[in-house]
Amino acid sequence: MNEKTLDVTIINPFINATLACLSQMAKIESKRERIFVKSSNKMHGSVSGIIGLTNGITGSVAVSFPQNLARLIVARLLGDAPEKLSDAVIGDGIGEVANMVAGGAKRAFAETEHRFNISTPTVIMGDQTSMFNPAPAVTIACEFSTSISKDETFLIEIAFRPNKE
């Protein structure tokens, strides 16, 4: 047999890092709503920060926010009024969020077989954006609600290649 196994617990350190990042840096409480295998390439929101992962885990981590929620979060990070922020500043801020989420998970995996390195963040903005992860990568996603925008959610997604058993 050459079946591929999927260790969904890989997402847990990324979830913890997301909660810590928003709570500590922006004083925003987030709540994990659901974890699922993501089959669509379409990004959840119109502002997404993406970090490449190499070595122990090969793939990427993305954090994706609706524009309004991204604006509110970056405003909290900077202590600025949301309406004052340009798209460039919002993009920078979401890139930093992605960096801290990936960095936090990297620390959690540091002493394990999944130990990985991370790239610098890339941010994509726009409606109807998609991200393609070459097969055989699978994508595990976690949707979060927040204390600052009840009608919007954001997503983190981890795309990685399953281990062969």
State the residues that interact with other proteins by CB under 8 A. Answer: 20-21, 24-25, 74, 77-79, 89, 92-93, 95-96, 99-100, 102-104, 106-107, 110
Least Å distance, CB 45 to other proteins, is 18
What are the tokens at 71? 């604006």
Counting every residue written for the chain, the total comes to 165
Q: Closest separation between CB of residue 34 and other proteins, Å? A: 24
Least distance from C-beta 4 to other proteins, angstroms? Answer: 29
**Helical packing angle, 67-78 and 12-26, nearest 10°:** 60
Distance CA 141, CA 81 (A): 30
Comparing CB distances to other proteins, the nearer of 21 and 155 is: 21
Backbone angles phi, psi at 33, to 5 degrees: -100, -50
| Nearer to other proteins (CB atom), residue 27 or residue 42 | 27
